[in-house]
């Protein structure tokens, strides 16, 4: 909770600085000095603003909307990662994005990421960044982005991708999976592995409630809860000793 509050405050403070410069729409720092999110830059002046703010790399998620003249603008290293609008990036694309950010963080270089409006596709990448580097839950990452960047993460599938990446990053063999995804996109196998992990968790949870001790405790809890409810009810319903006694006997 405290981590996300700090992220929000720092993001707003950093984004409010230099507001007089021509910047891309929906621009804000996700983590100041590390990752910025935005809509598609539409002019060379906006690219200059990004470089002026210390951004070294610009990742475009929108093949249908790329910054004009970006290939010739040498102050920014430009990378195109095409994702269809209103769709989530593939897991391979998310992993490549995160691994690229790992290298940039080690060098102290800031990254900018954008799609057409800087909401859905960009929001997914930004949320995965928060999940991986700041160790926040997908719920907290999504709510933080929607607070600082209204409209972020537009579809259920986009939300689901963030949860799937969280599950992936927690696997013991995550490093090996990353290497395999970077070499060739065998995502179907990966999704099957994640589904197996979820089924194991569900089964373990179900078995827990099947033990005799747990069943006994649940019965006691149910009885106590009902007894408390009846005691409260007696304060609001005219008391009839005969009827009340019959009901309590039936409960027992």
- What tens digit of pLDDT does each residue of 3-41 get? 556 655 655 555 555 455 799 999 999 999 999 999 999
- Provide the pLDDT for residue 69: 95
- Provide the pLDDT for residue 17: 52
Fold held by 2-185 = 3.90.190
Average pLDDT, the chain: 82
User: Quick one: residue 136, left, alpha or beta (phi over 0 = left, psi -120 to 50 = alpha)?
Assistant: beta
Write down the catalytic residue from 4, 101, 115, 128: 115
76-85: b (≥16 Cβ within 10 Å) or e: bebeebebee
- Provide the pLDDT for residue 183: 75
Model pTM greater than 0.75? no
- Provide the pLDDT for residue 21: 72
* pLDDT tens digits for range 64-88: 999 999 999 999 999 999 999 999 9
- Provide the pLDDT for residue 233: 53
Q: Note if 115 is an active site residue.
A: yes
Residues in the chain, overall count: 252
- Provide the pLDDT for residue 72: 94
Residues of the chain with pLDDT under 50: 18, 239, 241, 243-252
């Amino acid at each position: 909770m405290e981590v996300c509050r700090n992220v929000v405050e720092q993001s707003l403070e950093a984004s409010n600085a230099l507001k007089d410069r021509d910047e891309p729409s929906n621009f804000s720092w996700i983590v100041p000095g590390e990752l910025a999110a935005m809509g598609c830059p539409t002019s060379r002046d906006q690219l200059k603003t990004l470089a002026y703010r210390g951004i070294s790399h610009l990742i475009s998620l929108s093949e249908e909307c790329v910054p004009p003249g970006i290939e010739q603008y040498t102050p920014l290293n430009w990378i195109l990662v095409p994702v269809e609008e209103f769709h989530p990036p593939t897991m391979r694309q998310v992993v490549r994005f995160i691994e690229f950010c790992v290298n940039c963080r080690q060098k102290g270089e800031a990254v900018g990421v954008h799609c057409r409006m800087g909401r859905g596709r960009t929001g997914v990448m930004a949320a995965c960044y928060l999940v991986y580097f700041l160790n926040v839950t997908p719920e907290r990452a999504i709510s933080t982005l929607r607070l600082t960047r209204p409209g972020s993460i537009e579809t259920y599938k986009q939300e689901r991708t963030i949860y799937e990446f969280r599950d992936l990053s927690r696997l013991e063999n995550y490093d090996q999976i990353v290497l395999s995804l970077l070499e060739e996109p065998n995502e179907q196998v990966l999704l099957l592995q994640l589904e197996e992990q979820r089924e194991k968790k569900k089964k373990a949870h179900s078995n827990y409630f099947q033990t005799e001790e747990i069943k006994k405790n649940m019965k006691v809890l149910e009885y106590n809860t009902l007894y408390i409810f009846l005691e409260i009810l007696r304060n609001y319903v005219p008391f009839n000793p005969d009827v009340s006694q019959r009901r309590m006997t039936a409960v027992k």
